Amino acid sequence: MIEERRVLIAGDMLSDVFVSMLDDTVEPIEDYLVGLELLEGVADDVDVVIPGHGSLARDEEVRARIKLDRAYVEDLRDARVSSDPRVVSPKPGWEWASDIHEGQARNLARRSQRDGTPG
């Protein structure tokens, strides 16, 4: 975060075109949700978020993107069909992002079957 400018650089989080990318950790869902909690904790202190991909987020859009990322990750965790617009109706040129979603869903399902734990 660039505090004096009230700018948060979010990396691969909070994109309007790119689905949440889970790390290859022991608890990828939980780790991502913790990251979102940290971002939510500073959301009132920023005027603009710069994601690694897609457009800037300002004002209320920052919280809307946190909510969108959280819903997406919770859908993955709970093995629900995602209604995330980045998956079901991606912006032109970003259609391939739904392939990332499909891969993540498959990987989490395999992991769950293998060790009997949720994603």
pLDDT at residue 118 in the model: 54
Per-chain mean pLDDT for the chain: 92
Q: How confident is the model at residue 57 (pLDDT cuts 50, 70, 90)?
A: very high
Cα distance between residue 111 and residue 98, in whole Å: 20
Q: Is the pLDDT of residue 70 over 60?
A: yes
Confidence of residue 26 (pLDDT cuts 50, 70, 90): confident
**How far apart (Å, rounded) are the C-alpha atoms in residues 50 and 95?**
21
Q: Above 60 in pLDDT, residue 23?
A: yes
Q: For residue 13, what pLDDT is reported?
A: 95
pLDDT for the residue numbered 117: 58
